[in-house]
Amino acid sequence: MKRRDADPLPSPRRSAGGLLAAIALLVLLASPAAAQGIWDEPAFALYRQGLEALDAKDYAKAASLAREATVAYPGHVLAFYLWSQAALAQSQWQQAANALEKVAALYPNAAAQRDLGAAYQQLGRIEDAAKAYEAALALRPTDQESRARLAVMLMNADQPGRAYDHLKALANADTKLSDVYSALGRIDYERGDFPAAAAAFEKALTIRDSGRSWLNLGVVRAKMGNTAGAKQAFERAGQDADTKDQAAKEIERLKAGPPPAPRSSRPGLPR
| Number of Cβ within a 10 Å radius of residue 30 | 10
* Dihedral angle computed from the Cα positions of residues 100, 105, 110 and 115, in that order, rounded to the nearest 10 degrees: 10
- pLDDT in the model for residue 235: 96
CATH number at residue 200: 1.25.40.10
| Secondary-structure percent of the chain, ordered helix, strand, coil, rounded to 5 | 75, 0, 25
Higher confidence at residue 21 or residue 78? 78
pLDDT at 84 over 80: yes
- Within 13 Å and on the Cβ side, how many CA atoms surround 29? 7
- pLDDT in the model for residue 31: 53
228 within some domain: yes
Write out the residue range of the structural domain in which residue 239 sits. 176-257
45 within some domain: no
Total structural domains within the chain = 1
Q: pLDDT (tens digit, 9 = 90+) per residue, 168-182?
A: 999 999 999 999 999
pLDDT band at 256 (very low <50, low <70, confident <90, very high): confident
103 within some domain: no
72 within some domain: no
258 class by beta-carbon count within 10 Å (0-12 exposed, 13-18 middle, 19+ buried): exposed
Q: pLDDT (tens digit, 9 = 90+) per residue, 122-150?
A: 999 999 999 999 999 999 999 999 999 99
The per-residue b/e assignment along 76-95, b for 16 or more CB within 10 angstroms, e otherwise, is bbbbbbbbbbbbbbeebbeb
214 within some domain: yes
68 within some domain: no
